A and B are shown apart, each in its own frame.
Chain A
Amino acid sequence: MKNLVVIGAGMASGRLLEHLFEAAPGAWQVILFNAEPRGNYNRLMLSPVLSGEKTYQQIVTHDADWYAAHGVDCRFGEPVVRIDRANRTVYSSAGGAPYDALVIATGSAPFIIPVPGSDLPGVVTYRDLEDTNAMIEAGIAGKDAVVIGGGLLGLEAAAGMAARGARVTVVHLMGHLMERQLDPAAGYLLQRDLERRGIKVHCKGATKAILGHGRAEAVLLEDGTVHPADLVCMAVGIRPEVRLANDAHLEVERGIVVDDALRTSDPQIFALGECVEHRDQVFGLVAPLYDQAKVLARTLLGEAAAFRPVQTATKLKVTGCDLFSAGDFAEAEGREDIVFRDPGRGIYKRLVLENDRIIGVVMYGDTADGNWFYGLMKDETDVSGMRDTLIFGPAFQGGTKLDPMAAVAALPPEAEICGCNGVCKGTIVAAVQGGATTLDAVRACTKASGSCGTCTGLVEQVMKLTLGDGFVAPASGGMCKCTDHSHEDVRRLIRSMGLKSIPAVMQELGWKSVGGCHSCRPALNYYLLAEWPLEYQDDRQSRFVNERNHANIQKDGTYSVVPRMWGGVTTPAELRAIADAAEKYAVPMVKVTGGQRIDLLGVRKQDLPQIWADLNAAGLVSGHAYSKGLRTVKTCVGSEFCRFGTQDSTGLGILLEKLLWGSWTPHKVKLGVSGCPRNCAEATCKDVGVVCVDSGYQISVAGAAGMEVKETEPLAATPSEDEAVEIVTAFVQLYRENARYLDRPYKWVAKVGLDWVKAQVADLPTRRALVERFEISQSVYRRDPWAEHSTTAATPRWAPLADLTLEAAE
């Protein structure tokens, strides 16, 4: 079998290999080099990863199994350093690989403006997973970030960091944002939308230097402005990565020059993707690269095929900024504009016409007709007959207004639905008729909506048209029936749009119900209080009964009351107070719980305030036996009494409980602290377990002993008790900030990956920032709810409003 060596495991080569293995499995033995230490992932989706909406695992397109199944010899983390054309061999630092054919798919490299300070730590580019992680790991929440460059990429970086809670400023050289796609009016609308969500925009800003001692601290502009910056992201442009081709003396202009068959000046060497130049054109979007992949696969199989670039359209993947742009907007002789503005609604549309054909489309605010215009543009349709109403879109052609479904129905089978992958309506219809009835299935067999994802809605509409009532919208998406936004979306938008009340969330995010439901309201209440601990007013009516009544509801409508026993330790006086209370309120059962507390079961609702008052008087506070919050810290006796104990596990348990109690969390949280590996406190099946050992403290997390039984996984080990406490606190805060409501830590860790969690907690600045945010929240929420509600003013609420049995007796 002949050897095909591929340099670069990016989006273009990923697609190439797919076509190749599909058309002729086994035709080539493939060796794949990649500078990144991993295979192919959907680079377009880095922004959702940056904003926290997706995880890396969710954007992987080709995993190790896929490569293995196709016999690809993968050399990840091994950049190729030299191509020896004479001997048909490529070399990486680890050695050589001979080829019969070679494909260069090295993409492009981000451009760094060489101002003083641009090499300081804290200055990043935005290209790959490392860059994305660098931004995430910088722990930018509450800090300042400056993005240099107000183009597509820069704005996505800005929105992503803002979603992570950073104060972001975009510095842009030109007079308005995205000047290559937008005119000043549309740029203004975009700027206004970004500013509304807290992103500052500085246009006409030329960067002079990045200031800082040993690390970026600020960005200085030519006009003297200084923007503070804990992190600077340069997103000013890219240039084709052509160094290997240059060194190998291939023909290179701006990119590696290729012909229609994607052949370079050496007939054994091919190139595709962002690194190439074809008929004086270079490429920066995936759609043409995917076309190149198709053509090159055929070339490699000895078939004739020719690459013809088509116009591509751009969308900005920033939630809430609806922007569509395609074609050419340059001023030129013989070109005319049709412009529509509705400043009140923030809508702007512009068509550029030449010879009665559309050659450019920009839409802002309402992009529903984008694909229709784009279709007219690509087909070079003569639009002179509809000029008067053209700008109003397909709905107004022919007089009657169409609903969106009818508009999709009216599209011809050749109409393009997914721009990234060039998938037309007919292909989707055929896939659906062939049995692909879910979005995932359609994605799997057509690739439609699989790249940037902005066409998902359209694809769903086509599916609905084809399937009729048989179409079920994907259930995984929305939080509940009241919204299509996912939990992650909602959290992100609460943060980026600065939403601070449940009505604000429902209004701004278009809730479909009046007042939500029993599943979204508690989640929203939690997200808001976790995000804005100092500003948000807790909404009692959006809490489940247990949290509203600060006791556990039982099957007969009575409650159970569980005083807190720090680390499971109590005193004779406390026991006496509990016994007295049990007798006084005729508690039917007194029981020791699995978490080392005493449970008073069967208390009537109207007695709750009094029993709390009595227990409070003896120094006992709420055990939060009911809350999505810290429940118990189970301990063993440790070094204080046990002959095996290596550390004071009881003391540490009490310390942790006193620190963590009262904080609200996405679900209940239980801790265990054992004094030695005999683990009498069963710490290894808790949400957080600490096992004390001779050398210090082993902290493990994500255990469970309920519906699922799961051993904890190691998070960190440390000799110092202070550090152990800090790590546990940081973990809890990370969980509070990131998990979906009602996901226990083990579920959440499974989603985001333990490695990520470890990295966050291990990084000292990130850890400290987490602890700091936890403490801020605790300054508000570490309160005993019993004390608040056992006052005489509050008690009437717990009794019936009226007693008609008495009335009857009168």
Chain B
Amino acid sequence: MTVFVDIGALDDIPRQGARVIRTGQGCVAVFRTLDDRVFALDDRCPHKGGPLSEGMVHGDRVTCPLHNWVFDMNSGAAQGADEGAVRTWPVRVEQGRVLISAELVTRSHAA
């Protein structure tokens, strides 16, 4: 069973935007869609390491700000002709708070 930790209020993340959380092994981007769904993905584009948290969020996709690769935030998979995927993390919203998989903390321990 996934254990979740509270990382902040939903309202701290702009709609169609993202905030990052720092972990021991790199940042994770937490996205909020126009309809208030949240997604968490490693903040490193598999292409050349672009910060996905600075990408444009459209629907449940995000476009990398460096060279426009597009990722499906549900699966982390690159769309269209590009190949590759970003790791995704379980995340959910409860009573206005954003909860993310505690595995990220473990990841930090491992560092």
By a beta-carbon cutoff of 8 Å, the part of chain A in contact with chain B is 513-518, 521-522, 540-542, 544-545, 548-549, 553, 555-557, 797, 800-805, 807-808
Contacts and interface: CB of A to CB of B under 8 A. Distances in A.
30 contacts: A514-B59, A515-B33, A515-B59, A517-B61, A517-B70, A518-B70, A521-B56, A541-B16, A541-B17, A541-B56, A545-B54, A545-B65, A553-B51, A555-B66, A557-B51, A557-B54, A797-B14, A797-B19, A800-B19, A800-B21, A801-B19, A801-B21, A802-B21, A802-B22, A803-B22, A805-B23, A808-B24, A808-B105, A808-B108, A808-B109
Contacts of B54: 545, 548-549, 553, 557
Contacts of B58: 513-518, 521
Contacts of A513: 58-59
Interface string B1-35: 00001011000111111011111100100100110
Given A518-B68, A553-B54, A800 B17 contact: no
B12 A801 contact: yes
B111 interface: yes
B22 A805 contact: yes
B50 interface: yes
Contact of B105 (A542, A544, A549, A807): A807
Contacts of B27: 800
B108 A515 contact: no
B57 interface: yes
A-B complex: 6 closest residue pairs judged by Cβ atoms: A801-B19, A518-B63, A808-B108, A541-B16, A802-B7, A545-B65
Contacts of A544: 56, 65
A804 B66 contact: no
Nearest to B8: A801
Nearest to A803: B22
A548 B48 CA distance: 21
B104 A804 contact: yes
Contacts of A548: 54
B19 A804 contact: no
Nearest to B61: A517
Interface string B49-79: 1110011111101010110101000000000
A742 B63 CA distance: 18
B59 to A, nearest CB: 4
Interface residues of B, number: 41
Contacts of A803: 21-22
A807 B56 contact: no
Contacts of B104: 804
Contacts of B108: 804-805, 807-808
Nearest to A539: B16
B21 A804 contact: yes
A805 B24 contact: yes
Contacts of A804: 5, 7, 21-24, 104-105, 107-108
Given A521-B56, A545-B65, 11 more contacts: A518-B55, A542-B56, A553-B51, A556-B49, A557-B49, A800-B19, A801-B19, A802-B7, A804-B22, A807-B105, A808-B111
A540 B50 CA distance: 20
Main DSSP-derived SS at the B contact region: mixed
B70 A553 contact: no
A560 to B, nearest CB: 14
A805 B49 CA distance: 21
Nearest to B28: A804
A517 B63 contact: yes
Nearest to B51: A557
Contacts of B59: 513-515
A542 B48 CA distance: 23
A544 B55 CA distance: 8
A800 B20 contact: yes
A604 to B, nearest CB: 12
B42 to A, nearest CB: 13
Chain A CB within 10 Å — which of B8, B15, B65 has the most?
Answer: B65
Contacts of A516: 58
A522 B111 CA distance: 39
B111 to A, nearest CB: 7
A125 B66 CA distance: 52
Nearest to A606: B20
A557 B40 CA distance: 19
B106 to A, nearest CB: 8
Chain B CB within 10 Å — which of A515, A544, A553, A801 has the most?
Answer: A801
A518 B51 CA distance: 15
A18 B66 CA distance: 52
A800 B7 CA distance: 10
Interface string B83-100: 000000000000000000
A423 to B, nearest CB: 37
A514 B61 CA distance: 10
Nearest to A559: B54
Contacts of A545: 54-55, 65
Contact of A801 (B7, B15, B16): B7
Nearest to B104: A804
B44 to A, nearest CB: 9
A808 B105 CA distance: 6
Contacts of B7: 801-802, 804
A548 B14 CA distance: 12
A501 B92 CA distance: 30
B57 A541 contact: yes
Contacts of B12: 801
B66 A802 contact: no
A228 to B, nearest CB: 43
Nearest to A558: B51
Nearest to A801: B19
Contact of B66 (A521, A553, A797): A553
A710 to B, nearest CB: 26
A379 B69 CA distance: 55
B21 A555 contact: no
A801 B30 contact: yes
B69 to A, nearest CB: 10
Contacts of A802: 7-8, 21-22
A755 B76 CA distance: 50
A548 B70 CA distance: 19
Contacts of A541: 14-17, 56-57
Contact of B16 (A515, A522, A805): A515
Contact of B34 (A515, A522, A800): A515
Contacts of A522: 56
Nearest to A809: B108
Contacts of B19: 797, 800-801
A556 B44 CA distance: 10
A805 B30 contact: no
A41 B51 CA distance: 51
A556 B51 CA distance: 8
A540 B17 CA distance: 9
Contacts of A800: 19-22, 27
A513 B59 CA distance: 8
Contacts of B17: 540-541
Given A517-B58, A541-B17, A548-B54, A805 B111 contact: yes
A143 to B, nearest CB: 38
Nearest to B7: A802
A96 to B, nearest CB: 65
A518 B56 contact: yes
A513 B56 CA distance: 14
Given A515-B16, A801-B30, A555 B23 contact: no
A521 B63 CA distance: 12
